[in-house]
Structure formats: structure tokens, C-alpha cells
Amino acid sequence: MGTTASAALAITMIAAVLLIIFGIRSLRLPNGKQRGFLMIACGIVFVVNVLIWTL
């Protein structure tokens, strides 16, 4: 895998972790339930996508 592809996967993993962290924080807000679940779902999709590309 080239350096550009590795960098893209690393950036995607950073984005996934941030989405999951802030999704959990958003779940704690009274009006942020839907946004929190969508952010967590998007983060999980990112992680699965990186796993597919690396295997």
C-alpha cells in the first residue's frame, strides 16, 4: 500500500474516533439523541471501511 493510501486510512481512523467520541458526548445532550446516534453510526462505518481496505 502506498503512502497516500496509508495516510488516507489514518485520517479516516482519526475521523472515526472523533465521530464516536463526539457522538457519545452528543447523546448526553437533551436534544442531541438523533445526531449522536448518527455520528456513532458514521464512525462505525468508517472503521469497517478501513478494515475492509486493509484486509
Say what the pLDDT of residue 19 is: 97
**For residue 19, with 0-12 CB atoms within 10 Å meaning exposed, 13-18 middle and 19 or more buried, which class applies?**
buried
- Taking the whole predicted model, whether its pTM rises above 0.85 is answered as yes
Task: Give the pLDDT band of residue 1 (cuts 50, 70, 90).
Answer: confident
Say what the pLDDT of residue 2 is: 86
- Give the separation between CA 53 and CA 3, rounded to whole angstroms: 14
Instruction: Give tens-digit pLDDT for 25-51.
Output: 999 999 989 999 999 999 999 999 999
User: Three-class SS string for 11-48?
Assistant: HHHHHHHHHHHHHHHHHCCCCCHHHHHHHHHHHHHHHH
Helix, strand or coil, per DSSP, at residue 55: coil
Instruction: Give tens-digit pLDDT for 3-22.
Output: 999 999 999 999 999 999 99
